Amino acid sequence: MTRSVLLTSAAILALGLAAPPALAERILRLDEAPIGEMDPAKGTDYADTVLAINLYDTLVYPRQGGSGVQPHLATDWTIEGPVYTFSLRDDVTFNSGNPLTAEDVVFSFERMMALGQGNSGLFEGRVQGAEAVDAHTVRFTLTEPFAPFLATLVRLPVVDKATVMANIGAGDFGEFGDYASEWMSQNSAGSGPYVAESHDPQTETVLVYEPDYFLDPAENHPERVRYRYGLDASTVRALMARGEHDISSQWLPPEVFAALADEGAAHLVTEAGLTGEYFKLNTRRPPLDDVHCRRALAYAFDYDTLLQLVRINDDTTQGRPMSSALPAGLIGFDPDLPAFAQDMARAQEELAQCAHAPGDHPLEIAWIAETPARERGALMMQALYSQMGFDVSITRTPWALITEQVTDPDTAPHVIEIAVSALSPDTDSLLFNMYHSSMPPTWMSASYFVNEEFDALLEEGRTETDPDRRQDLYAEANAILKEEVPAIYGYELLGAFAVRDGVSFHNLEDPARTYPVSGFNLRFADISVPE
Amino acid sequence: MKRTATILLGNPLSVLGLILVGFVVLTALLADFIAPYPDHAGAVVDFVNANKPPSAEYWLGTDVVGRDILSRIFYAYRVSLGLGIVVLSIATPIGVVVGLLAGYIGGWTDYILMRITDVFLSIPPLVLALAIMGLLEPTLLNGMIAVTAMWWPWYARLVYNIARAEKVEGYVLAAEIIGGGRMHVMFREILPNCVPAIVTKMTLDFGFVILIASSLSFLGLGVQAPTPDLGSMVSEGTRYLPDSWWLTVFPGAAILIAVFGFNLIGDVLREVLEPD
Amino acid sequence: MRILTRLSIRLATTVLVLFGVSVLIFLIARIIPGDPARIALGPRASEAQVEQMRRTLHLDEPLFAQYAHFVGDLFRGDLGISLYTNRPVTTDIAQFLPATLELVILAGIMMIAIGLPLGAISARYRGRWADHVIRVLTLMTVSAPSFVWAVVLVLLFSYYTPLFPIAGRIAETITIPPVTGFMLIDTLIAGRWDGFLSALHHVFLPAFALSLSGIGQAARLTRANMIGTYEQPYIEMAQAYGFSERRIAARYAFKPSLIPSLTIIGLDFAALLGNAFLVETIFAWPGLSRYGVGVILQKDLNAIVGTVMIISATFLIANLIVDLLVSVINPRIRYAERSE
């Protein structure tokens, strides 16, 4: 048996199997970076958000075509100081058939806080308790006034108490056992438009449509969804060209998006999800402990080239210019500010005022290994800042190691490029985590920014409930960030998706239907697929 | 030595091998002079010329930040060869000492040392290196440690078998009778008899060290950017398949050329030096 | 009787080596820079939570006690929770191992089915053109890492000529209830002939890419052994008796060379398991190796330890089986070789 004989027989084998069997149902195939965490009390990443919104419902949802929130499970609510009272829809049942009641909401909240993972930190220390007033009324009492609370509720998916309790294992939570921690990572117990049929956190989750869902789906909505994890860019590209994949993840390199659009196999849409592409500057380590050095780096930064790098083609880009620390659409954002631009003269001016000479300290730039396109930004900075006399090193660091390094400000890299999304449609969820001095050192707060005036503004923003006053407060905070440069505000990230022609991603194709928070547009039932 | 040279030059396969290895070594040594864009080995960005297919200007095309792939391959050879030299010059002495001790002294020393060797050998080589690299930080030095850790047991095995065979030979017994110490017998009497086998194995292994190192960096656990490295070049290029095939195919071919060259020489050497 | 004694010695040694592997992996895992408890909890955890997790993971106890916990859990079949997938490591491994084994076993079959005959042909026509061609080709296949061959094959047979699928284990329209986890077996259990063909279609190219360097090794080894055998007096005798070349090659030269080849092929199985890491990445094959790389990048301590332990155990068992096979085929040769 020689190789040519082998290949010939392989070719025969291949040809014999080339014709795919007819599709029996409407199917939607997407992909995302691993891993997918299905337990809504544990998820934090993009894939987790997408799973949560399709399997579960929340009291409120980001407002379609606008900012803020809109009713979802809750039809309306009253706010009296720290007391929030929600009236729930009475026509919602879980996929198990159990009706969704106020008790489930309370249970979901308590479960999330007890497990202490995922987005529980958003509520930690702010909520005194939740109680079911009657079957369809739920009341949250806060420890103190907290204006962003309502918006934060988009991160509290409601789970079916009865189903969860039927599946608890041994654990540390008394009568609640492990709160079904193990089971919930494998199964869904929600009221959402889809039910998980199978789940493998590294490979794929298969979801099946639930016809009894309380909201109407799009025409020709998918009946079965295959949400795949960790496909290579080249694999996605080939699958889409063959018509075997419907919506790409947003992590493909621009070249691959461009190739897909050029071929006519797919069209591109983008999601502005309140996400900034930030180059966090370590304000604790010299030379960046001096604001003049930070400003020098920011003025010297080549914003145009960076935006050029994320441009896919004439029609689509993965980023748009920023004019301040805030992405468009958040409270405090000012559309009239001019966009950042390179200004070498001012960079040199600031550098001259800096207490450190450029050669005094090395400048370490880290980029996240899992996002290869970012190497270009790091290399660009290395070239630029070397010219200014800095001794620049760049390191490709796995994400897990970055999250570890940033916990020690004295040794954390000087510059890290990280995309940070507002977790809820409220400015507080972005700025407080990143820059308030009370935050522990994490990847979100890797600037280690300390500014009393700024802290005071944010604290007032939390307790102030008047929208106009809040707009002023955050505009002021924003101005401080522009002045003090705890980060270089690279660009506003637009998540691009390649969508196979024939598939309609209505939420992103029509601005009036777009939800303002990253990930919340991927409601599978709102997507139309060909028969 | 002269005989070896005659043999190598007389066989067309080894001549091809010598040419390939010569090419690799020369381009690595002379990269500063012959690379079309020597500065492209470092942190250079030229986004205007990014991702260009092969042309008269860039013979093998450019990568995603606009660096010349041919130049980077030359510099990557430098890294690969350096790594091969370091790994073998650490792994060989460790293996030789372990093998000699176990083979010559025997008894419990033999049992314990060889079981430790077995432990290392029973973890698939790449998996062991991956585990070490994964737990340490992914740098060139740790890459060398990882590859060395998986390499020395093979030398220990080799020397062990020879030492066990030689130990009962007349000249060793003679050396013992006239009062040669253990050290003397091991390193002065037995070791010289292991040298031909060790040298052959090192030649053969050189290619495989390059291969394993490129596999590690392919998985993202090796040389750090911007240092050029063949495995990570392939790995980064696979994202852009099939459109930008030159990002993957040329570095892949470069690995093949280097390893194939060393293997051709090693193959002929082994056939001649170890007739079985 | 002698075989039984030898078997028990081999078994004891295997267990001993496995113990050694556990110590080695444990030690490597504990010199990890960074705090596994913090990594486990993620970036938003509080210091108190980290402290709690450190106690749960026994990280506050001395090294020896930690190892005792580790081995105790191991014996209960508990490899801990993967910090990466939030599931028990054993669940993860049980899910991913069959896919990898399917790939590796198929590659192993290809290695033997193609490599041994190639080597035999090469030896029989030693010095002639067939020998030269086979030698150069097989040397080439061992001279590039599997990922290079995977890229070449996928470019040629999936992208440029779309003969084979790009990714996955089976056509997505076919749903097969998992029983063994081996797609080729599960499809047959389910009585889905189309599923079986589809699974074969999917596994063929990755397995072939993985087997290429093994084919080269096996062919080279068989050639060397057969040439050694050709020089034995009994072959000359057979030639003197006027037996046909074909008969001599098959009966007197090939068969005895098979035994040492088989032994080494047991070792090559290790290389296949490791190289599967490289091939699975290119073909998006949902196997253990992809899981392994994932957990290594995430510094998922339990999962790294578990994966390496399982792969090593698989490898040791494979070697044990090969050893047994060989001693069944020819105990005399086996014994002689051992006491060398």
Residue B31 or residue B194, greater confidence:
B31
What is the residue-level pLDDT of chain A in tens, covering all 531 positions? 344 444 445 444 444 444 444 446 899 999 998 878 999 998 888 999 999 999 999 999 999 998 889 999 999 999 998 999 999 999 999 999 999 999 999 999 999 999 988 888 889 889 999 999 999 999 999 998 899 999 999 999 999 999 999 999 988 898 999 999 989 989 999 999 999 999 988 889 999 999 999 999 999 999 999 999 888 888 899 899 888 999 999 988 888 999 999 988 899 999 998 999 999 999 999 999 999 999 999 999 999 999 999 999 999 999 999 999 999 989 999 989 999 999 999 999 999 999 999 989 999 999 887 777 788 889 889 989 998 999 998 887 777 778 878 888 998 999 999 999 999 999 999 999 899 999 888 888 999 999 999 999 999 999 998 889 999 999 999 999 999 999 999 999 999 999 999 999 999 999 999 999 999 999 999 999 987
Q: Residue ranges of the domains in chain A?
A: 1-32+194-272+498-531, 37-165, 275-493
What does the block give as tokens for A366?
């880290």
**Residue contact A394–B239, C-beta within 8 A:** no
Which residue type sits at B127?
V
Which residue type sits at C67?
Y
Neighbours, chain A (3 or more CB pairs < 8 A): B, C
**Residue contact C311–B127, C-beta within 8 A:** yes
| B229 touches A at CB < 8 Å | no
Encode pLDDT of C182-199 as tens digits.
Answer: 999 999 998 888 999 999
CATH 2.30.42.10 fits A275-493, yes or no: no
Chains A–C, number of C-beta pairs less than 8 Å apart: 123
Instruction: Reply yes or no on whether the pLDDT at B195 is more than 70.
Output: yes
Neighbours, chain B (3 or more CB pairs < 8 A): A, C
Residue C124 or residue B23, greater confidence:
B23
CA C222 to CA C262: how far, in whole Å? 9
Contacts by B102-105 with C-beta closer than 8 Å and gap 24+?
A: B102/B156, B102/B160, B102/B163, B103/B159, B103/B160, B103/B161, B103/B162, B103/B163, B103/B164, B103/B167, B103/B190, B104/B163, B104/B167, B104/B182, B104/B185, B104/B186, B104/B190, B105/B182
Q: Return the bridge partners of A222, or none.
A: none
* Residues C102 and C187: beta-carbon distance below 8 Å: no
| C177 touches A at CB < 8 Å | no
For residue C33, the model assigns a pLDDT of 60
Chains B–C, number of C-beta pairs less than 8 Å apart: 149
Residue in chain A lying closest to B135 (CA)? A401
DSSP string covering C25-40: HHHHHHT-SS-HHHHH
What does the block give as tokens for B47?
């986004």
Tracing tokens 């009894």 back to the chain, one arrives at A212
Question: pLDDT tier at C338 (50, 70, 90 boundaries)?
Answer: very low
Residue in chain A lying closest to B64 (CA)? A376
Out of B43-47, B83-87, C90-94, C236-240, pick the least confident: C236-240
List CB contacts of C92: < 8 A, sequence separation 6 or more.
Answer: A202, C82, C85, C291, C303, C306
**Residue contact A1–C34, C-beta within 8 A:** no
CA C114 to CA C265: how far, in whole Å? 13
**Residue contact B161–C308, C-beta within 8 A:** no
**Residue contact C273–B218, C-beta within 8 A:** no
- Residue of B64, B220, B239 with shortest CB distance to A234: B239
What does the block give as tokens for C149?
């061959």
CA A159 to CA A189: how far, in whole Å? 6
A244, A478, B74 from B49: Cα distances, Å: 33, 38, 20
Domain CATH number, residue B121: 1.10.3720.10
CATH 3.40.190.10 fits A1-32+194-272+498-531, yes or no: yes
**Residue contact B276–C32, C-beta within 8 A:** no
Burial class (CB in 10 A: 0-12, 13-18, 19+), A493: buried
Contacts of A183 in chain C (CB under 8 A): none
Phi first, then psi, for residue C17 (nearest 5°) are: -65, -40
CA A92 to CA A99: how far, in whole Å? 6
Closest Cα to residue B197, out of B265, B260, B93, B270? Answer: B270
CATH number for the domain whose boundaries are A37-165: 3.90.76.10
Residue in chain A lying closest to C92 (CA)? A200
B103, B160, C213, C276 from C271: Cα distances, Å: 27, 23, 9, 8
Complete domains list, chain C, with CATH: 3-75 (no CATH), 89-330 (1.10.3720.10)
**Residue contact A14–C198, C-beta within 8 A:** no
**Residue contact C312–B221, C-beta within 8 A:** no
CA B39 to CA A91: how far, in whole Å? 68
| A396 touches B at CB < 8 Å | yes
Angle at B85 between CA B80 and CA B90, to 5 degrees: 130
**Residue contact C173–A15, C-beta within 8 A:** no
For residue A2, the model assigns a pLDDT of 43
List CB contacts of C332: < 8 A, sequence separation 6 or more.
Answer: none
Question: pLDDT tier at B168 (50, 70, 90 boundaries)?
Answer: confident
Which residue type sits at B36?
P
Sign of CA dihedral B80, B85, B86, B92: positive
Residues 68-87 of C with CB under 8 A from A: 84-87
Question: What's the start-to-end Cα distance of chain C, in Å?
Answer: 21
Encode pLDDT of C38-79 as tens digits.
Answer: 666 665 566 777 787 788 777 788 888 888 888 888 888 888
B16, C37, C45 from C48: Cα distances, Å: 65, 11, 8
Structural domain that includes position B149? 78-273
| C322 touches B at CB < 8 Å | no
CA C164 to CA C282: how far, in whole Å? 14
**Residue contact A11–C284, C-beta within 8 A:** no
Query: What is the number of domains present in chain B?
Result: 1
Residue C159 gets which letter from DSSP?
I
Instruction: Reply yes or no on whether the pLDDT at C262 is more than 90.
Output: no
DSSP string covering A124-186: TTTEEEEEEEETTEEEEEESS--TTHHHHGGG-----HHHHHHT--S-SSGGGTTTTHHHHTT
CA A484 to CA B202: how far, in whole Å? 58
Contacts of C111 in chain A (CB under 8 A): none
Q: Return the bridge partners of A279, or none.
A: A417, A488
**Residue contact B256–C315, C-beta within 8 A:** no
CA A338 to CA A101: how far, in whole Å? 49
Contacts of B256 in chain C (CB under 8 A): 140, 143-144, 148
| CA trace torsion C109, C112, C115, C116 (10° rounding) | -160
Chains A–B, number of C-beta pairs less than 8 Å apart: 62
Tracing tokens 């012959």 back to the chain, one arrives at B34
Residue C177 or residue B73, greater confidence:
B73
**For residue B147, how many other CB atoms are within 10 A of its CB?**
30
**Residue contact C208–A10, C-beta within 8 A:** yes
Which residue type sits at C242?
G
List CB contacts of A327: < 8 A, sequence separation 6 or more.
Answer: A272, A274, A275, A276, A333, A422, A430, A492, A493
Position B88 in a domain = yes
Contacts of B220 in chain C (CB under 8 A): 293, 297
| C149 touches A at CB < 8 Å | no
What does the block give as tokens for C269?
């199985």
What does the block give as tokens for C124?
């029989």
Report the half-sphere exposure of C3 (CA within 13 A, side-chain side): 12
Position B16 in a domain = no
Residue in chain A lying closest to B248 (CA)? A234
